[in-house]
Amino acid sequence: MTYRKKKLLLIQISIFIFACSLIFFSYYNQNSQILPEVNKSNNSIEKKKLLTEKESNTFENVEYNGIDLNGNRYLIKSENADFDVDKPELINMKVMQSIFYFKDGTTLYVTGDYGTYNNKTNDMTFRDNIVALYLDNKLYADNLDYFNTKSLLIVYGNVQSESPEGNIEADNLKVDLSTKTLNLSMFNNNGVKVKLK
């Protein structure tokens, strides 16, 4: 081998070793710098995921609809809603509105400041400033509970009803939706106040 070829081969081997060393040390240094950043970004991704999961428990403009055990359609809406991860079927609602479409063609409108909706049993509770409208009848109360599983509607706390036939004041009103019977009562010894027109 000539001196020139040896020198050229030595330069090529040196350049190859230098290039490999440069690539190795560049890659090694880059990995050592990137790994902490990747871990940091993974941590931030995990934190964002946890925050998103936590925030995803709160909703705006929620709407549920379905059919109760008696075959009546219903729609329930809320401006704000949330649920506890341990009880995801129980939806806590604020500024609630509900419409019940009965099979006989009539509708019942119910509003309340807040309450709950169970998306498994379809049971509903309304609290504070309850207003219920059915045909020409208006009902005001502090609480209204609809138990789909029992076909029962219970209204209690300062119950007042206005209708073309007259007005009613009571503490407790129970409507059995399966038998369509109404039971009025007072919590104390006072009687139910009925004023007929």
What DSSP line would sit under 34-52, residue for residue?
HHHHHHHHHHHHHHHHHHH
pLDDT value of position 103:
84
**Are 52 and 89 found together in one domain?**
no
**Are 117 and 157 found together in one domain?**
yes
**Are 29 and 96 found together in one domain?**
no
**Are 80 and 39 found together in one domain?**
no
**Are 143 and 190 found together in one domain?**
yes
**Are 96 and 145 found together in one domain?**
yes
**Are 156 and 180 found together in one domain?**
yes
Low-confidence ranges of the chain (pLDDT < 70): 1, 8-10, 14, 16, 18-56, 184-197
Q: What is the pLDDT of residues 120-146, one digit of tens each?
A: 888 999 999 999 888 888 889 999 998
Residue 32: count other Cβ atoms within 10 Å of its Cβ: 9
pLDDT value of position 97:
92
pLDDT value of position 189:
57
Domain housing 161: 59-196
pLDDT value of position 33:
43
Q: Which long-range contacts (CB under 8 A, 24 or more apart) does 166-171 make?
A: 166/194, 166/195, 166/196, 166/197, 167/193, 167/194, 167/195, 168/192, 168/193, 168/194, 168/195, 169/193, 169/194
**Are 25 and 106 found together in one domain?**
no
Model's pTM, two decimal places? 0.64
pLDDT value of position 158:
85
Taking the CA atoms of residue 46, residue 52, residue 56 and residue 58 in that order, the dihedral angle to the nearest 10 degrees is 130
Mean per-residue pLDDT over the chain, rounded:
75
pLDDT value of position 106:
87
**Are 81 and 157 found together in one domain?**
yes
**Are 99 and 21 found together in one domain?**
no
pLDDT value of position 114:
93
Percent pLDDT > 70 in the chain is: 70
